Amino acid sequence: MSRTTIAVLDDDHINCLVRYAIAGHGEITETWARDFFLPEEVEPSEVYAAGNGLHPENGVDLIPMSAGVDVRKGTDASILIFRRGKIDAELMDANPKLKLIQRVGERADTIDLAAAAKRGVTVSCLPRPSLAYTAEHAVLLMLALSKRLIEADETVREGSWDRARVHPENGIAYNWVGLSNLGGLYGATVGIIGLGEVGTLTVAMLRGFGVRIVYCNRTRLPEEKERALGAEYRSMPRLLAESDFVSLHASNLPENKGAMDASIFVQMKPTAFFINTSRGRMVDEAALEDALRNGVIAGAGLDVHETEPRPTPNRFAGLRNVIMSPHIAGGSRQGIIHEVTTLLDNCRAALVGRPVKHRVKAAPR
């Protein structure tokens, strides 16, 4: 039996699951695969089953991360799977057996598509529902905060409003609980910090709400991309000063730890809301608590936290201007099995010459 080689180029969580699905516990431990999903109950066998037809007994070898193989120096891989990094002509030439370049994520801007087409290499960029859900959650938190949704629900449930001040007309009593400072997204300015995949998806979703979008990023986008997105570049100080909502989508890099500190919050409008669906470690929570208690900013929506699960006592628990969720923006972790399965379906298809899903081609010149 002739053997096929697959190379997985990075080791974030979804690619670790891809490794497990192909090679089983020879590459990733069964304990890690089970613990990844907890407290959701998922058996590692479900993940391994997603790799059916791509296991060692099927003639497929996975280049192990522990081998420290540099694909730029050449391998016999037929498939490259990656999430982050650059795939250029030089790398393709070093791997002459390539049939498929599979990116985990729908952006193709780090892949030389023209070089792939010239060499007959198929390229697929897999949209990830979990990233779209995260973008949705950021918008959800903006809406819930500006409309004071949690307080409104609690007050209606508890029946705690001043009946003497409510005079329904024809059975209609607008805002009978008397909430003030109600708003929304329409006409607001939203500042996006970090225009990676989730930040870009958030921008796309926000366009339907009639907002003005400004962004800051390590690298400014070309003007044509800014126009296509409908987003205006700003320095960090200008973004903070202009925005009614500041939504964090920056990369979880070591240098970003605690970057959202008191110096950031003091530059925001006192009526502005801070949203974090990225990583909690990037926020100085003591500084955020001070800003929320002292009216430096109006509120915060947090799906991610400095320590997870949140410790008890919870510094934000008594604050009515904070909405918290337990790191659920990306949806159920079981949904990642579907992402892994779709990716591996492409691998199976490419190896037998069938069309792959989410194929990306170079734009015609």
Catalytic residue numbers read 279, 308, 327
Rg (CA), the chain: 24
Question: How far apart (Å, rounded) are the C-alpha atoms in residues 277 and 139?
Answer: 10
Question: How far apart (Å, rounded) are the C-alpha atoms in residues 321 and 151?
Answer: 9
* Alpha helix (H) residue ranges in the chain: 13-23, 30-37, 44-49, 89-94, 113-118, 129-146, 149-158, 197-206, 223-229, 236-242, 262-265, 285-293, 335-351
Question: How far apart (Å, rounded) are the C-alpha atoms in residues 237 and 263?
Answer: 10
- The distance between the two most distant Cα atoms of the chain, rounded to a whole number of Å, is 84
Percentages helix, strand, coil for the chain, rounded to the nearest 5?
40, 15, 45
